[in-house]
Amino acid sequence: MHGTRILEEADRLMTVCNSCRYCEGLCAVFPAMEMRRAFSDGDLNYLANLCHGCGACYTDCQFSPPHEFNVNVPQTLAVARNESYAAYVWPRAFSGAFARNGLVISIVAALSVAAFIFGFAAFHDRQVLFGVHTGPGAFYKLMPHNAMAALFGAAFLYAIVALFMGVRAFWRDIGEPVGMRADAGSIWQAIRDAGELRYLDGGGVGCFNEDDRPTDRRKIYHHLTFYGFGLCFASTSVATLYHYFLARQAPYPWWDLPVVLGTLGGIGLLIGPVGLLLEKWKRDPVLVDEKRLGMDVAFIVMLFLTSLTGMALLFLRATPAMGPLLALHLGVVFSLFVTMPYGKFVHGIYRFVALVRYARERRMMGHV
Amino acid sequence: MVDLKRRFDVLVIGGGNAALCAAISARRAGASVLVLEGAPKFYRGGNTRHTRNMRCAHDAATDILTGPYTEEEFWQDLLLVTGGETDEELAKFMIRESKDILNWIVEQGVRWQPSLGGTLSLGRTNSFFLGGGRAMLNALYLTAEQLGVQIIYDAEVADLHIEDGMFLAAHLKQPIDGATEIRASALVAAAGGFEANIEWLKEYWGEAADNFLIRGTPYNRGSILKMLLAKGVQDIGDPTQCHAVAIDARAPKFDGGIITRHDSVVFGIVVNKHAQRFYDEGEDIWPKRYAIWGRLVAAQPDQIAYIIFDSAVVTSFMPTLFPPIAGGTIAELAGKLELDPVALEKTITDFNAAVQPGTFDHTILDDCRTEGIMPQKTHWARKIEAAPYLAYPVRPGITFTYLGTRVNKQSRMVMKDGKPSANMFAAGEIMAGNVLGKGYAAGIGMTIGSVFGRVAGREAAKNAKN
């Protein structure tokens, strides 16, 4: 017996699939399944997070609906995956955040933006908020750098702690023995698998989205989003180093590394999320967890807004719009950070951990 | 929308591997092609949807095949499984052609992978479809559509208009876009056998056929085969025979596919409804033993049997869809199976007493055997003594039938008078009996389908152009 109905269904499907095994060449889920004859809650949550949702096993399955065996692995694992985020969340009290994620994240985002605008206005007179500021340190006329660093440092730290606690619970549930550490080789393998989205390709042909013709579009858009996010993060990191070690203050000229990284990342983070959203709207509902589409949409929209407000800030930073735009951008980024452990962002972390576990299992079983 | 008023160069009836290979091959040869698949789209492809590999000759190991499998070795294997019931010229032609099919089928979008978990014994001889038979079919359908092959589902053919061995038109059971008559210059019949036609099976098996389970879709009714034979095409293959394996009695009547099979026979004993053993469970190794048990169970009262084993061996074989039925004692197990507990206890006690010491190895014909009981268990005999005791109920699972249309090396049907048909070709299970008169070797059905499908399509296109 399992803790939830969806895990019961996942167990039923893994029993069907384990007596068939036709899909074992498609991705990591089925080889991992074959290493087991029975499935604990942790095993099923592990398989659910290992699944990248490419849909190939549904299209290829002779037992998918309308067949009476009713085998729908992508949808079942999508639901199980989303429920696993809530099951492992820290603190537990926030597990409900996943159920109405779109609403939660919009409220947090709206409040954050409002707080920054109010904050800027409250601590300064209106001239500052709507004034024209240029040159190094222009942003800090609205909010002192140390205050900004402390606030975002705290938000970021909180996100890391909450994510770490959740992932730790997940790792304990899926790993054996309890508290097992991963080896460097497995981590490196997982980095490579995640970095190229190795398992989001239907075993080589691409993802199944709106019909039975596979495409690489989701993979490409995800790469744009992920690496765009990575570049933006790198931009902020470089800027922080500039600030503390080179005593160079933002804003930087357009040719400087933080701006170049941020602009390239920002472009990726504009195109990628839009593409992902379009693909999501077209996607065959039979493959997805329809009840929690809001969570996916909320995260994608937040990423898009982060980039959009950042780019707007870059282009309009020498105008009176700079103040409100900075408040908007900081509000969006702040809410992105604090809601990270309670939304779609966690999929990347859990899936990465599942990939580490998979790499470890394969090593233990004597595979390369 | 398909214009059904026009005359097509090639009409393909059927929707599986052979049909699609024929359609693609004919289209690539420049013909206009219409495919009529009798099943709905989801169930398209007949038995192909449940397959997983193809047996092709090759002279050297490949990325996915662990070693060479020569034409001669393939031929010897075929001789062995058919007991010589094969057309040597046709079979050797097929084996030679199979070499190129390994590449040709990939050009049609099909992808290979190394042999599946649990089938390592086929790693040298058989190429496995990545994603299984339905993935293979999906790839062929996509390719066919991209090439401009017209495909209609739910298109059941009610009658064929054939005069003096010449195909003129097919008549649809239900009109499609107002059309009931489909005209074409050549016909490729690739519509399979009659394994899902219980009434037809009853002609040979009597009421016992009611207890058969059909492993494929309910659409494999053999109606095209019947029409062709009634209109002068020469038959081949034993009409009374079908390929049957033992599958779980709890499986659905149709389309349970591969996952209802049981290959645990060697790890225990098999009893009938009277709790009596009836055949040597340790006679031979896979896949031969796999293929005989359907027929053996079909010969038992009520066409039911029970594989009985104990909890010591439960992890020795692949996990099963349906869990074993368990009992803490033999009597309790007998109760759950509705068998006579006294009889089952006696059968197992007698069996255990007859087991001789030996060294168990399921990969070879080992020396674990019984002595002093009938039937003997000649290999892998070990005492059944570790509670809980376990059982799988099994019934005959009908896979395919052997009756077919005779063809020549062009895949062209041969008429009863021995003359080749003017414009009718056959490929796949509907003509498999030419090559496979008896028995089975894993993956050979797909070889027959792809090789003769490709040939039939090419020849039909050529025929239509003349």
| pLDDT tens column, B12-49 | 999 999 999 999 999 999 999 999 999 999 999 999 99
A204 vs B130: CB contact, 8 Å cut-off?
Answer: yes
Which pLDDT score is estimated for B409? 96
A37 vs B319: CB contact, 8 Å cut-off?
Answer: yes
B255 vs A23: CB contact, 8 Å cut-off?
Answer: no
Tokens of B47: 């038995």
- The answer to whether residue B431 scores a pLDDT higher than 90 is yes
Strand ranges of the sheet holding B112-113, from the earlier edge strand across to the other edge: B53-55, B126-129, B112-113
A21 vs B118: CB contact, 8 Å cut-off?
Answer: yes
Average pLDDT, chain A: 92
Strand, helix or coil at B29? coil
* 8 Å CB contact between B249 and B300: no
In this prediction, residues B250-279 reach a mean pLDDT of 95
ipTM of the complex: 0.94
Answer whether B111 touches A (CB < 8 Å).
yes
Nearest by CB to A62, from B113, B117, B257: name it.
Answer: B257
State the Cα–Cα distance between residues A50 and B250, nearest whole angstrom. 32
Answer whether A22 touches B (CB < 8 Å).
yes
Tell me the residue type at B328.
G
Q: Nearest residue on chain B to A60, judged by CA atoms? A: B135
Over residues A100-142, the pLDDT tens digits come to 888 888 888 888 888 888 887 777 777 777 888 888 888 888 8
- The answer to whether residue A204 scores a pLDDT higher than 70 is yes
A96-110, B62-76, B137-151, B290-304: least confident range: A96-110
Which pLDDT score is estimated for B211? 97
Q: Is B301 exposed, middle or buried (0-12, 13-18, 19+ CB in 10 A)?
A: exposed
Tokens of B132: 């299984």
Q: Tell me the shortest Cα–Cα distance from B46 to chain A, in angstroms.
A: 11
Q: Nearest residue on chain B to A16, judged by CA atoms? A: B321
Confidence of residue A266 (pLDDT cuts 50, 70, 90): very high
Q: Is A179 exposed, middle or buried (0-12, 13-18, 19+ CB in 10 A)?
A: exposed
Which pLDDT score is estimated for B286? 64
Answer whether B336 touches A (CB < 8 Å).
no
- The answer to whether residue B117 scores a pLDDT higher than 80 is no
Cα first-last separation, chain B = 28
Which pLDDT score is estimated for B445? 96
A62 vs B319: CB contact, 8 Å cut-off?
Answer: no
CB-based contacts of A3: which residues, under 8 Å, 6+ apart? Answer: A41, A87
- The answer to whether residue A304 scores a pLDDT higher than 90 is yes
Q: Tell me the shortest Cα–Cα distance from A37 to chain B, in angstroms.
A: 6
Residue A20: its chain B contacts at CB < 8 A?
132, 257-259
Per-residue burial over A22-56, b if 16 or more Cβ lie within 10 Å, else e, is bbbbbbbbbbbbbebeebebbbbbbbbbbbbbbbb
pTM for the full predicted model: 0.94
Integer angstrom CA distances of residue B126 from B83, B105, B437, B442: 21, 14, 21, 8
Q: Tell me the shortest Cα–Cα distance from B258 to chain A, in angstroms.
A: 7
Tell me the residue type at A24.
E
Answer whether A61 touches B (CB < 8 Å).
yes
